[in-house]
Amino acid sequence: MKNNSCKRAFTLIELLVVVLIIGILAAIALPQYQKAVAKSRGAELISMVKAVNTAQEAYFLATGRGGNNFDLLDVSFDSLTRLSEEEARSYDREDGYAKNNNELGLFINEFLVMGALGTGPYAMSGFAMYSQPEVFDAGHDTAGLKGNELYCWELESAPTGFCEKLYHGTYVRTRGPVKYYSVN
């Protein structure tokens, strides 16, 4: 009598084909996943930058000068950790917060609120708003930049395409090492 219970196994070629297909699918999906994560972090940054800018405006109306410290403003971020003065100044800002090992950063000085992505393919990109336009315009080179308007930014030395690819930003100008894009 013949035994019909022969063992069936995958061949090495079949396994390699499956691994190849999974690799191709991962190569297609990973950039899309990174874009989705960057868009999510960007939306979080936009919300925080706008909230701080509103608090900056309220502080300016009450005192006649911009707030350079988060403690002066009526805003708090439970998901962020306060940076030391040295860390904030290393970003050329007077005060700052970060999230999850600098995944996101939020910085202020007297005239500027800046949010930054700190990790991933779009690191060193983010959003900024200049507040107190009448004060800012009087003492700074503002050509093309307006107060209380949201701008996407990225470093000129390390362009990521964040502003153009993800937010369809229109180039406005370069100020120092930063390229600004109008987003609406």
pLDDT digits (tens, 9 = 90+) for 29-44: 888 888 888 888 899 8
Which residues have CB under 8 Å from 55's CB, separation 6+? 67, 73, 74, 75
Q: What are phi and psi of 34, to 5 degrees?
A: -65, -40
Q: For residue 128, what pLDDT is reported?
A: 92
Q: Which two tokens stand for residue 144?
A: 């093309």
Residue 44, class by beta-carbon neighbours within 10 Å (0-12 exposed, 13-18 middle, 19+ buried)? middle
99-156: pLDDT as tens digits = 766 788 888 888 888 888 888 888 889 999 987 655 555 555 666 788 888 999 998 8
| pLDDT reported for residue 152 | 93
pLDDT at residue 92 greater than cutoff 80: no
Segment 74-89 mean pLDDT = 81
In this prediction, residue 23 carries a pLDDT of 93
- Read off the pTM: 0.78
pLDDT average, residue stretch 47-68: 87
pLDDT, the chain, mean: 83
For residue 167, pLDDT over 80 is answered with: yes
Q: Are 111 and 135 in contact (CB under 8 A)?
A: yes
Q: What is the pLDDT of residue 135?
A: 56
Strands (E), the chain: 81-82, 95-99, 104-108, 112-117, 125-130, 150-155, 170-175, 178-182
Determine the pLDDT at residue 22: 94
**Rounded CA gap, 11 and 100, in Å?**
45
